[in-house]
C-alpha cells in the first residue's frame, strides 16, 4: 500500500523521538497539549505570587534594627553599641532593651559579622585556668560579655609544664578573635602581644607582671595590700615577720613586698633580707616549698608570722604546718593575698587581702568590647582598684605577747596575795 503524503512511520518501541523541541522516551511520543501547558503555567504563576506575598508578609513581621531605634527613640548606632556591649547611657540602654523585648527583635549574627567584618569572639589567655583567682576573673568576663551576644575563646598556655601559645597565635592569624585579654602578662608573652598588635587587634591586660603599651590595663593596688598586712601584724605584736612571695620578677610580688616593708618600717620593724623568700611561681607547690623551708628552721628562730604571695600558697603552707603539729596561729600567723572563696571555707580561716577580682574581669571585658566597637575613641587606659583586708582565724597575737597577756592576770593575783600576807 502506498503511504499517504506527509504521513509518519509508526514509532518504534522504546525509542526516543524529538518532537516540537521536546524529547520523549516511550512507546508513543506525543507533545503536551496547549491547554495543559497553559494550566501548568497559570498554576506556577499563582504559586510564585503566593510565595512573594508570604515573603513580604514575613519581612514586614520581622522587626529590624531601624524599628528598634525608632521605638526606643535613639540612633541606630546606639542600638548597635548596646547589642555589641559598647558604651551607652543607662537610660538609652534600658530603652533599647525594652524596645527589643517589645518587638521581639533578634539580630542576625551572621549578617552582623559580614557587615562588620568581625569574628564575634574575644580571646582570653592565661597560664593556667585551674587557679581559683582566675575562676573569678572568668566569672567577671562572662558577666560583662553576656549582653553583647559575643563568645569567648579560652586558652591555657601552660600545658604539662610547657609554655605553648600556639593556639592563641592561630586565633590571631586566622582572624578568629576581635581582641585579646591577657591575664598576668609576662616577658614570655611579648611575641603574643606583638602578633596581636600587628594584626590590629586591641589588647587588654589584667594584673600584668610586666608593663606594656596595651589598650587598657586593670590591676589592684598591691603596695596598699602589703601595707595593710604590715599594720595588722604590727598591731598583733609581731616583730619577726617573713615574706614568702611568688617569682622575684613578678610585679605583684615586688609591690606587695614594698608595701609590707614600708608598713613595718613605719612601726619600727625591719624586714631582714634573710626573711624574704621567693618562689618559682604562685602555685600550691611554691607554698609547700616555703613550708619545708620554715619547718627546717630551729623552732626558736622561726618567724612569728609568714606572709605568702597569694591565697593558694598560703593555704598549702598552712596545711603543711598543721600536718607537722605547728599550731596556727598560736605558733605562727599566716596571711595570703587575693581573697579567694576557699580561704573562708577552711579552718582556721585564712586572713587575706581581698581584690575585687570579679569586677576586674568585668571591667577588662567591657574595655575590650569598647575598643572593638570604637577603636579610635580616646579613653582611660589604666584602672587600679583598692583592696580590703579580711581578718580571720589564721592570725593572732605574737607568741611573746600572748605569753605576757596570759601571765599578767597571774602576776596581779600573786601581788595581791603577797600584799595580803604582809598585812
Supply the DSSP string of 285-321, one letter for each residue: HHHHHHHHHHHTS-GGGS-SEEEESSHHHHHHHHHHH
Choose the CATH number for 222-355+386-404 among 3.10.350.10, 3.40.50.150, 3.30.1490.270, 3.40.50.2300.
Answer: 3.40.50.2300
260 pLDDT tier (thresholds 50, 70, 90): very high
Q: What percent of the chain has pLDDT over 70?
A: 75
What's the confidence (pLDDT) of residue 61?
63
- Report the C-alpha gap between 29 and 13 in whole angstroms: 10
Give me the mean pLDDT over the 104-117 stretch: 60
Choose the CATH number for 119-220+360-385 among 3.40.640.10, 3.40.50.2300, 3.40.50.300, 3.40.50.11740.
Answer: 3.40.50.2300
Kindly report the pTM of this predicted structure.
0.69
The answer to whether the beta carbons of residues 305 and 240 sit under 8 Å apart is yes
Residue 89 has pLDDT above 50, yes or no: yes
The answer to whether the beta carbons of residues 286 and 279 sit under 8 Å apart is yes
Give me the mean pLDDT over the 368-388 stretch: 85
Residue 240 has pLDDT above 60, yes or no: yes
Cell of 152: 569567648
What's the confidence (pLDDT) of residue 161?
80
What's the confidence (pLDDT) of residue 375?
74
CATH fold of the domain at 40-107 = 434 Repressor (Amino-terminal Domain) (1.10.260)
What's the confidence (pLDDT) of residue 87?
76
As annotated, the residues of the chain forming the CATH 1.10.260.40 domain(s) are: 40-107
Give me the mean pLDDT over the 179-191 stretch: 94
Block residue for cell numbers 503511504: 3
Of the candidates 324, 247, 260, 343, the one whose C-alpha atom is nearest the C-alpha of residue 286 is: 247
Give me the mean pLDDT over the 189-212 stretch: 93
What's the confidence (pLDDT) of residue 250?
92
Neighbours of 201 (CB within 10 A): 23
- Report the C-alpha gap between 81 and 103 in whole angstroms: 18
As annotated, the residues of the chain forming the CATH 3.40.50.2300 domain(s) are: 119-220+360-385, 222-355+386-404
**H-run or E-run covering 55:** helix 34-61
What's the confidence (pLDDT) of residue 35?
59
Work out whether strand 162-163 and strand 158-159 pair parallel, antiparallel, or are unpaired.
antiparallel
Mean pLDDT of the chain: 82
145 vs 56, residue with greater confidence:
145
23 pLDDT tier (thresholds 50, 70, 90): very low
What's the confidence (pLDDT) of residue 47?
52
Amino acid at each position: 500500500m502506498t503511504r499517504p503524503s506527509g504521513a509518519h512511520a509508526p514509532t518504534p518501541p522504546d525509542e526516543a523521538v524529538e518532537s516540537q523541541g521536546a524529547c520523549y522516551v516511550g512507546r508513543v511520543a506525543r507533545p503536551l497539549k496547549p491547554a495543559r501547558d497553559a494550566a501548568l503555567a497559570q498554576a506556577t504563576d499563582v504559586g510564585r505570587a503566593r510565595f512573594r506575598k508570604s515573603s513580604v508578609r514575613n519581612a514586614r513581621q520581622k522587626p529590624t534594627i531601624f524599628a528598634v531605634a525608632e521605638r526606643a527613640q535613639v540612633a541606630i548606632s546606639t542600638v548597635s553599641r548596646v547589642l555589641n556591649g559598647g558604651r551607652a547611657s543607662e537610660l538609652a540602654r534600658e530603652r533599647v532593651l525594652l524596645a527589643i523585648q517589645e518587638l521581639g527583635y533578634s539580630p542576625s549574627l551572621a549578617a552582623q559579622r559580614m557587615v562588620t567584618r568581625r569574628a564575634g569572639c574575644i580571646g582570653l589567655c592565661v597560664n593556667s585556668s585551674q587557679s581559683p583567682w582566675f575562676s573569678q576573673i572568668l566569672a567577671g568576663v562572662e558577666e560583662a560579655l553576656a549582653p553583647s551576644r559575643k563568645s569567648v575563646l579560652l586558652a591555657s598556655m601552660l600545658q604539662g609544664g610547657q609554655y605553648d601559645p600556639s593556639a592563641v597565635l592561630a586565633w590571631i592569624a586566622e582572624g578568629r578573635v576581635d581582641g585579646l585579654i591577657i591575664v598576668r602578662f609576662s616577658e614570655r608573652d611579648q611575641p603574643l602581644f606583638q602578633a596581636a598588635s600587628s594584626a590590629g587587634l586591641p589588647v587588654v591586660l589584667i594584673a600584668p607582671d610586666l608593663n606594656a603599651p596595651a589598650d587598657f590595663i586593670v590591676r589592684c593596688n598591691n603596695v596598699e595590700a602589703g601595707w595593710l598586712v604590715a599594720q595588722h601584724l604590727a598591731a598583733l605584736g609581731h616583730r619577726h615577720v617573713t615574706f614568702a612571695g611568688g617569682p622575684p620578677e613578678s610585679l605583684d610580688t615586688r609591690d606587695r613586698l614594698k608595701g609590707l616593708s614600708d608598713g613595718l618600717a613605719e612601726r619600727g620593724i625591719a624586714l631582714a633580707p634573710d626573711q624574704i623568700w621567693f618562689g618559682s611561681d604562685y602555685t600550691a607547690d611554691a607554698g609547700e616549698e616555703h613550708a619545708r623551708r620554715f619547718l627546717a628552721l630551729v623552732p626558736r628562730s622561726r618567724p612569728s608570722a609568714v606572709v605568702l604571695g597569694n591565697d593558694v600558697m598560703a593555704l598549702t603552707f598552712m596545711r603543711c604546718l598543721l600536718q607537722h603539729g605547728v599550731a596556727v596561729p598560736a605558733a605562727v600567723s599566716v596571711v595570703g593575698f587575693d581573697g579567694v572563696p576557699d580561704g573562708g571555707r577552711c579552718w582556721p580561716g585564712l586572713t587575706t587581702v581581698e581584690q575585687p577580682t570579679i569586677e576586674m574581669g568585668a571591667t577588662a571585658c567591657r574595655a575590650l568590647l569598647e575598643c572593638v566597637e570604637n577603636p579610635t575613641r580616646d579613653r582611660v587606659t589604666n584602672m587600679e582598684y583598692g583592696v580590703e583586708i579580711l581578718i580571720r582565724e589564721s592570725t593572732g597575737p605574737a607568741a611573746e605577747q600572748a605569753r605576757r597577756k596570759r601571765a599578767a592576770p597571774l602576776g596581779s593575783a600573786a601581788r595581791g596575795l603577797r600584799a595580803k600576807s604582809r598585812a
